[in-house]
Amino acid sequence: MIKNVIEHLATVDTYGVISILLFFTFFMGMLIWAVRLKKDYLNSMSNLPLDGGETTPTHSGHE
């Protein structure tokens, strides 16, 4: 049984490398996206919950 597990470790190594490369690529892509965001957009999004511009529904659903 141990011999069988050891023989299959070579394929696990390949999956590990692929997993790390996919994670690193995704992480770098998100980092580049975050750095490229415009300051005006970030400020408008950060103030959005505080604007108080909630719209009230015109239809209450009770008829």
The model's pLDDT over 34-63, given as tens digits with 9 standing for 90+, comes to 999 898 888 888 888 776 666 555 555 554
Structural domain includes residue 14: yes
Q: List the domain range (segments joined by +) for residue 38.
A: 2-47
User: What is the arithmetic mean of pLDDT over 8-35?
Assistant: 86
Its pTM surpasses 0.75: no
33-56 in b/e form (b: 16+ CB < 10 A) is: eeeeeeeeeeeeeeeeeeeeeeee
The backbone region for 18, taken as left when phi is positive above 0, alpha when psi lies in -120 to 50, beta otherwise, is alpha
| Count of structural domains, the chain | 1
Structural domain includes residue 59: no
Structural domain includes residue 7: yes
How far apart CA 12 and CA 37 sit, in angstroms, is: 38
Structural domain includes residue 24: yes
